[in-house]
Structure 1
Amino acid sequence: MALTSPARRLLTASAVGVAVSLTASLAVLAPAAPAFADSDAVPTYEVKIDLTTAALDSSHHPTSAVKSAFGISGSAKARSYEYFDTDALDFDAQGWDVRLRHKSGSDFEESYKKRFPVTGGDIDAALDEANDEGFDSGDTNYDAEVDWGYSQQTLSFSNEKSHSGSGYSGTSMPSASTGRGWLVNEIPGKLDDWLGNGWGSDTLGGSRAHGPVTSQVWSGAWESSDDASIEVLPVKAASGSGTEYVVEVSFKTDAYADAAQLHADAISVANAHGWLYHGDVLKTQLILDRY
């Protein structure tokens, strides 16, 4: 029996409805397209080798032989800095550092840094871990760097901001409450919400200044690095009485191969002259622990 036009339209509409319903059901059942993260960040490198006080003269400055050996020239420039953390070091426990630094004649530098340990020299694994935490090539607010010490490597992501140094001479620092206020106001989102909404601001609000300390830095160029330096940092002795001197020679470079060569050569030169400290001195940890 031939269908009338209204009946034909009703059957067609029913078929379309079934098709739409089936398509919707399949869409629900089908797996969602994967949301691909950005690729791992590409770090720069800073080789940091510690020297013994045999590298210093009676004024606690690098000897002329040390400066000559590592391409260091020019006069020293002072810098003061301090870290903000709670007495329980809550930021440090989460791998975060919050630092306020003042180089002579410059604006203040505010640094928020997240650290990831590098195990067994596997930088790629550390970069993968950082990517899982949201630190990847797409986040241009943070600069990735591998600090390469005598025997340890650390991957870090730094968010750098500045505050006017107007009214502050030399390397003078603001009061702890003022500096803390600056840092709270500028806190980046990743740190602020690290363990929950506003955790970073709340933790920073209850922090105190560890420091300040003031170091002297001599700059130059050596081998493939046009950014070489020696920093001499006086710190409170572990006993609480007296002063110890941390002596660090460092070299910045963009390439892993250059960093590996700088690392090997710096250790060789320092060791041959009897200046090498056979270990890693973590300046941040010293300041947090002793101030």
Structure 2
Amino acid sequence: MNITASRARRLRTSSAIALAASFTVAVTVLAPAPTAFAASNAVPTYEVKINLTTAALDSSHNPTSAVKSAFGITGSAKVRSYEYFDTDALDLNAEGWSVRLRHKSGSSFEETYKKRFPVVNGDINAALDEANDAGFDSSDTNYDAEVDWGYAKQTLSFSNEKSHSASGYSGTSMPPSSTGRNWLVNDTPGKLDDWLYNNWGSDTLKASRAHGPVTSQVWSGAWKSSDDASIEVLPVVNASGTGTEYVIELSFKTDKYNDAAQLHSDAIAVAEARGWLYRGDILKTQLILDRY
């Protein structure tokens, strides 16, 4: 009798353990997977860019005193040289990428890898959504998001900045094309490198050449809500290749959309009233890629 009772207790215990085990397995299998949340859109800063006509320049091709005064430009001119690297077929540009090497006097070389997304009909949020889908979101601290706001066109860009020692280079002198290309290839960021396929970016840069260099002068100051105002005067070869024309770009940087909108409106109004406004958008990157 005791043996039978003991055996019954063991059977009941074994059954309970088996049932508990099967329940645990079932719970493990049926438990919902953790929800994955996508990173939020990047938060851009803004740069208003308005082009001026040569009426804004004096006989030395510097901004006139009236132009400087009108837009809060107080600093003396600083010189910078730069060039873009792309293939003859402009393969990087076709994918919305630009790669620039720039040298400001007394500074290291600046390497800039930039991806552009068009802003259609002023819908910046749609452009940010598109960028997010491509992996450019708030979680990526390697890229700075900015909206370039021209006369009639807006462009969202994400820039990855790196630097290279300027030891041995005086002023704003640039390295030989092959040297600059090697620097840029070695520092190619991952998003560019794997844009179409593994190593696409570095392979494309290996086949690139320098477009430029060009050398410009930049005057700085502060105007209205922007403490980062500037006028850049850039001489470029003209379309026929027989002479020089001047690109004059007035720009203001700000963190806020409303400030950028007001700066855009006010700058156009002042430039138009004074007869300095160029009614259109001159894209310096495209101009240099096409003409050099």
If the length of structure 2 is used for normalisation, what is the TM-score?
A: 0.95
CA distance in 2, matches of 1:74, 1:26: 68
If the length of structure 1 is used for normalisation, what is the TM-score?
A: 0.95
Task: Give 2:16's match in structure 1, choosing from 12, 16, 30.
Answer: 12
Name the residue aligned to 2:141.
Answer: 140
Task: Give 1:26's match in structure 2, choosing from 27, 30, 38.
Answer: 30
CA distance in 2, matches of 1:75, 1:261: 26
Secondary structure of the 1:10 match is helix
Name the residue aligned to 2:209.
Answer: 208
CA distance in 1, matches of 2:53, 2:46: 23
Give the C-alpha shift of residue 23 in structure 1.
2.5
Same amino acid, percent of matched pairs: 76
Name the residue aligned to 1:254.
Answer: 255
Name the residue aligned to 2:128.
Answer: 127
Computing the radius of gyration from Cα coordinates, the structure with the larger value is 2
Where does 1:185-200 land on structure 2 (aligned, <5 Å)? 185-200=186-201
Give the C-alpha shift of residue 158 in structure 1.
0.7
CA distance in 1, matches of 2:26, 2:254: 59
User: 1:171-227: CA deviations, max 9, x gaps?
Assistant: 100011111111111111111111121111111111111111111111111111111
Structure 2 unmatched runs, 5+:
none
CA distance in 2, matches of 1:178, 1:238: 28
Which region of structure 1 is more displaced relative to structure 2, 280-289 or 1-10?
A: 1-10
Which region of structure 1 is more displaced relative to structure 2, 79-88 or 67-76?
A: 67-76
Give the C-alpha shift of residue 228 in structure 1.
0.7
How many residues are matched? 288
Where does 1:65-76 land on structure 2 (aligned, <5 Å)? 65-76=66-77
For the pair 1:98 / 2:76, whether they are aligned, the reply is no
Q: Which amino acid aligns with 1:169?
A: S
The runs of at least 4 aligned residues of structure 1 exceeding 4 Å deviation read none
Give the C-alpha shift of residue 77 in structure 1.
1.0
Structure 1 unmatched runs, 5+:
none
